[in-house]
Amino acid sequence: MERERAVDRLESLVDRVASEPMPVPVREVWAFGDVALGLDPVERLDVYLTKDVIMGGDADAAADFAAEYGIQGVGTTVDAEWATAHPDRVRTSDNGYAAPEKCLAAELVADDEPIHLEVCNSGFEDNVRQRLKGALARDAYEEVLDPRGVCLWVDGERDPEAFERLRAADLAMPTLPAALGMLGADEEAANEAADVLKQQRAEQEGSSVRGDMV
């Protein structure tokens, strides 16, 4: 999509997170990848959401939803009121429990949109470091998260300047290997990780989502 359209899409996503009920509380929204690099067109729109856990939970709602739909975890892992209003958007993990990251994707992104969501309980910058550390330890470079990101919204506050700079494509960003090198990866590992992520992105079609717990 054209960069202008991609930034518009980011704004609409932030608007919804800021003003509408979500499956789980969202604390931060970041953009990373192509749109942060100023590319035009943007092949895929990469968005990072920092989620909060649901405090307290609702055991009665969980039991009621499980009885009606056969899905566990509503009221504890995702918001019961949201799920009751949108049962068609409730998505599960392989174990049959409601999956917050998949529910957020179902709420925010159409299946055919070239948008990738990363969802984690940890902030973007912390998770970038954690993922890189784990990837280097296990040679699992597909786990690396592109660190070249920009914060758009945090704790209810939008950053208008961030959107302006995305539209103007004036954010100075290093190459991916250089960015990973700044975080401690040696040159060989950084280059290999960059190649793996490039191949991974080339294979993605439509919307995609990944969830993490740190």
Tens of pLDDT, residue by residue, the chain (214 residues) = 999 999 999 999 999 999 999 999 999 999 999 999 999 999 999 999 999 988 877 888 889 999 999 999 999 899 999 999 999 999 999 998 999 999 999 999 999 999 999 999 999 999 999 999 999 999 999 999 999 999 999 999 999 999 999 999 999 999 999 999 999 999 999 999 999 999 988 888 899 999 987 7
- Within the chain, what is the greatest distance between any pair of CA atoms? 54
pTM of the full structure: 0.95
Question: Crossing angle of helices 160-168/3-19, nearest 10°?
Answer: 160
Instruction: Report the run of H or E that residue 27 belongs to, with start and end.
Output: strand 26-32
For the sheet with 45-51, list strands across it: 157-158, 149-154, 26-32, 45-51, 115-120, 208-212
Structural domains of the chain, count:
1
Parent domain of 90: 3-212
Instruction: Give the integer Cα–Cα distance in Å for 105 and 116.
Output: 9
Between CA 100 and CA 211 the distance in angstroms is 8
Question: Hey, CA dihedral for 9, 114, 198, 117, is it positive or negative?
Answer: positive
